[in-house]
Structure 1
Amino acid sequence: MPGGAMSPHEPDFDSVLEAVREIVPRLRENGLEAEDRRWIPDENVELLEKAGVFRIAVPRRFGGLDLSLPQQYAILSEIARGCASTGWVAVAWVSTAWLATLYPDVTQEEIFATGQVRISGAFTAGSSTLVPTEGGYLLNGTWRFNTGCRGAEWDLVAATVELPDGTFDEAYALVPMSELSIADDWHVSATIGTGSSTTTARDVFVPAHRLVTVGEALTGTAEGRSNSGATGRDYGLLSMVISESVAIYLGAAKGAYETFVAGLGRPIAYTTWEDQREHPLTQHQVAVAENRIAAAEALFEKQLTLLQERADVGEPLTDTEKATVRGRAGHAIQLVNEAVEALNSVSSASSLARKGHFRRYRRDIEALTLHGLMNPNMSLEVHGRVLVGLDPGTPYI
């Protein structure tokens, strides 16, 4: 089946995936440095670039790899297996690069000029505004939690725009990162390496072709866009972003599991157990964790398959199916969070050391469950509404 979730065959996918797998140990080792500097090391960015990660969502006509959603998901998950913060930055850059394909052709030619690109995004408008001026708009605003802004070339930001007919709408503007200021305000207890600082625009000019309304982005109906229809890449904005984000939780959980198991073999303090592997509770919790991770992976694999099948024939998901994607994402995230907590319950005090990889994975996964769009409780509520015959109750599906 073209683009099937676990059977990717498109050219270049295997080489990128293998290159990323090779750098997983290095990404993991760089985790402490990422936390110390509150931003992933330059080496991580360079390794991802060399592996081809920043080309995977770029259309082929611009020299990109244009990989399918299941393939992008697999690559992003491997990055997070090495470092959750690096994975979260990568998913921000890659998913927002895909979002840039929803803009007019003239914009895409500008954004994808080099065949690869790093675009961060801030999707909450707040009090930010786009005021019409000759040839475009003047952008003013501030955006918090702008993941990856410190290493991005472009920023995609939300703002309220005054339309030609005098009405107001919400829109996404693409702006060179060099035209924005970045605050040194990312002081947090987890996902520290994402550098998700606040960005600010002061009277930044945005040409008209670098703006689409949120409605146009959600439906892929921006004027002057030739890559629409049955291209195999029109997944729907939120379903695509949610799906790629799930990859980070799953990959990070695998990293946590691997590092926990690799650290076994030592005595259990204040007991007669000389090897923790021999303790029945440890065995039980390791099995619980492995099965929950496997269950999450299998559960969401079906959603990836559905999204790709629909994109291949140019058929959008129904609102009920979109709500189900969000619900499945929420439950998968809940499962991997519980998996890592099961391991944490039998970890030792030595795992509290900042240099320890397992503890970093646990902190980052727990923190990422607080993300507004990815929070399991909120996602399951949306899914539950449609299961009992109500509307989703939110446009964020």
Structure 2
Amino acid sequence: MADTVLDKIVARADELRELGPDNEAKGSLTDRTAALLREAGTMRMLQPKTHGGMEAHPREFAETVMGIAALDGATGWVSGVVGVHPWEMAFADPKVQEEVWGEDQDTWIASPYAPMGLARPVDGGYLFSGHWQFSSGTDHCRWIFLGGFLADADGERVSPPQSLHLILPRSDYRIVDDSWDVVGLRGTGSKDIVVTDAFVPEHRVIPYNKVVDGTAAREAGLTNPAYRLPFSCAFPLGITSAVIGITEGALAHHVDYQRHRTTVAGTRIKDDPHALYALSEAAAEIAAARAALLDNLSRMYDIVASGREVTFGQRAVGRRTQVQAAWRAVRAMDEIVARSGGNAMRMDNPVQRFWRDAHTGLAHAIHVPGSVFHASALTDLGIEPPQGPMRSMI
């Protein structure tokens, strides 16, 4: 009997795997793919129990995302991105939680959080406008988190900048249908979003700084340690888990393809010591990337579960670990894809799709190492990084 979400995914593995090309051809998850995720309860793993959620351990969530992504990259990516949004919704005003989940606890919430909008204060809330890219899984969502900057009465961004997360129903934003034409993760349907002078009541707004410093969770009275994790640990978790899971999928398809392959020189791969060495090394590196991400998460969880705060230095190291895990897994995947032979690049071979999906996932802003590694090195040296971009998402 299937007990966990991952058990249910495994039971549907063949169908989810076979739906991968259909997702890519459609440019978003098929209705059947979304239905399978709903049946398994994927998006309710981090949802509060007060609204039908499981409040699962974040490690279980990450492992489930990896398992899904190994079957199909786009499905895993949407599971990781959309699946983390109920975690933040748990901090929101109970009124908006009821609006989102009151009639249907399987309602999905999209994003992005990038502050590409301006919110001008008006009576009872804000008038909000903006244009966002990369709203993964958005066709299957009925609400959305959008990032924006606070504006003054004239519509100009206030200084110093104040970032907000605003929650809108599907009726208040427009999905730009032809805005997702990319080389990888095509099946995620990560389309553009446009908002024009939407009224957002005060109860649907969360100050970003309260999410980052944990104030929102404390004010909501949440006691489950999962909700006390730093945003910079919880938010990237689904994205990096998906990338690592995609590389695991690439590895599995590479092994399956190489099992009976013979090179043009007549050498069977199973007799080629160089190919076998590369295969083992890549498998070990991908496994190490998985272990590093999960261990980092478990350490963060244990800190907050003990009632302690995660320091800036610990958060910086955590982000460094998370970013490096993604890069490590993709580099390892590249080593085996380069040894898969020219036929691996044919569109009917899953290897090339996983390869494209992994590199597109690595290009996400959350995986850019520069400022993260810089900030982490400074904290290792005992030097507090300056304010600004270097502290962003740490």
**TM-score (normalizing by structure 1):** 0.90
**Alignment match of 2:26 (pick from 37, 62, 75):** 37
Separation in 1, partners of 2:217, 2:358 = 39
Once the two structures are TM-superposed, the CA of residue 282 in structure 1 deviates from its matched residue by: 1.3
CA contact (8 A) 2:85 2:109 kept: yes
Tell whether 2:312 aligns with 1:319.
yes
Question: Counterpart of 2:114?
Answer: 124
Moved more, 189-198 or 259-268: 259-268
**Alignment match of 2:393 (pick from 355, 372, 396):** 396
Question: Counterpart of 2:148?
Answer: 159
Separation in 1, partners of 2:138, 2:55 = 23
**Relative to 1, partners in 2 of residues 1:280 and 1:27: Cα closer, same or farther, differing over 3 Å?**
same
Give the letter for the 1:141 counterpart.
G
- Report the 3-state secondary structure (helix = DSSP H, G, I; strand = E; otherwise coil) of the residue aligned with 1:76: helix
Question: Counterpart of 1:65?
Answer: 54
Question: Counterpart of 1:300?
Answer: 293
**Relative to 1, partners in 2 of residues 1:14 and 1:73: Cα closer, same or farther, differing over 3 Å?**
farther
CA contact (8 A) 1:276 1:282 kept: yes
Once the two structures are TM-superposed, the CA of residue 377 in structure 1 deviates from its matched residue by: 4.7
**Relative to 1, partners in 2 of residues 1:85 and 1:106: Cα closer, same or farther, differing over 3 Å?**
same
CA contact (8 A) 1:230 1:314 kept: no
Once the two structures are TM-superposed, the CA of residue 291 in structure 1 deviates from its matched residue by: 0.6
Moved more, 360-369 or 24-33: 24-33
Separation in 2, partners of 1:194, 1:325 = 27
CA contact (8 A) 1:334 1:376 kept: no
Tell whether 2:50 aligns with 1:53.
no
Give the letter for the 1:205 counterpart.
F
**Relative to 1, partners in 2 of residues 1:314 and 1:118: Cα closer, same or farther, differing over 3 Å?**
farther
Separation in 2, partners of 1:14, 1:328 = 31
Tell whether 2:290 aligns with 1:291.
no
Separation in 1, partners of 2:143, 2:384 = 36
**Relative to 1, partners in 2 of residues 1:284 and 1:19: Cα closer, same or farther, differing over 3 Å?**
same
- Report the 3-state secondary structure (helix = DSSP H, G, I; strand = E; otherwise coil) of the residue aligned with 2:333: helix
Once the two structures are TM-superposed, the CA of residue 357 in structure 1 deviates from its matched residue by: 1.2
Separation in 2, partners of 1:27, 1:379 = 35
Separation in 1, partners of 2:35, 2:224 = 34
CA contact (8 A) 1:232 1:314 kept: no
Give the letter for the 1:335 counterpart.
R
Please list the CA deviations of residues 51-74 of structure 1 after superposition, one character each: whole Å capped at 9, or x if unmatched: 111211111122211111111111
Fraction of identical pairs, as percent: 22
Once the two structures are TM-superposed, the CA of residue 231 in structure 1 deviates from its matched residue by: 4.5
Question: Counterpart of 1:212?
Answer: 206
- Report the 3-state secondary structure (helix = DSSP H, G, I; strand = E; otherwise coil) of the residue aligned with 1:203: strand
CA contact (8 A) 1:77 1:251 kept: yes
Give the letter for the 1:362 counterpart.
W
Tell whether 2:188 aligns with 1:194.
yes
Once the two structures are TM-superposed, the CA of residue 345 in structure 1 deviates from its matched residue by: 1.8
**TM-score (normalizing by structure 2):** 0.91
CA contact (8 A) 1:92 1:119 kept: no
Question: Counterpart of 1:111?
Answer: 100
Separation in 1, partners of 2:73, 2:113 = 21
Once the two structures are TM-superposed, the CA of residue 374 in structure 1 deviates from its matched residue by: 1.5
Question: Counterpart of 2:271?
Answer: 278
